[in-house]
Amino acid sequence: MKDETVVLIKPDGVRKGIIGEIMARFERVGLKIAAAKMIWVDKTFVGKHYQDKDAYHKTVGTKILENYQKFGLDANESLGTKDPVKIGRMVRNWNMEFLSSGPVFAMLLEGPDAVLIVRKIVGSTFPADALPGTIRGDFSLDSAYISNLQRRTTQNVIHASGSKEEAEFEKKLWFKNSEIYKY
């Protein structure tokens, strides 16, 4: 059975001129590009990608609070709150600002265990923690520490669907049926 997953080369990755290198890494392992396009999305569109749901906000906010604790920082002093939902909403806004700040290269990849394989190739969400050989480990050096201090999203070059359900939602959001090819 073949799975599908969505990959977005974010504005920082597009600016670095590494689209071809990233596509080649996925093709080398046998993933097929079923759809691809360059698009500059606005905040309204990005708001659909980063859904405005309290469960999402709480998960993201909790991770940020864990980072603050790990780095010995005071979230209340820096962000004005320790409420994970409020912090998650801040991060959502940072993500929306960033993803709409320049062109994005969107791909739909297909292959066995595509979600899992792509996540391994992409590497840890935070480039400073990503292993060498992964896309984030090779092409970015931003960290949770720096991005949290600067009150912005971590610039990590790429997005990859986190689950089959997320991939299906993102596929419908980013691609029309007429843009997807079976070959």
Q: Which residues are tagged catalytic?
A: 159
- DSSP 8-state class, residue 51: -
Q: What separation, in Å, do the N-terminal and C-terminal C-alpha atoms of the chain show?
A: 15
Backbone angles phi, psi at 8, to 5 degrees: -120, 120
The answer for 30, left when phi > 0, alpha when psi is -120 to 50, beta otherwise, is: left
CB count within 10 Å of CB 162 equals 13
Q: DSSP string of 87-98? A: HHHHHHHHHHHH
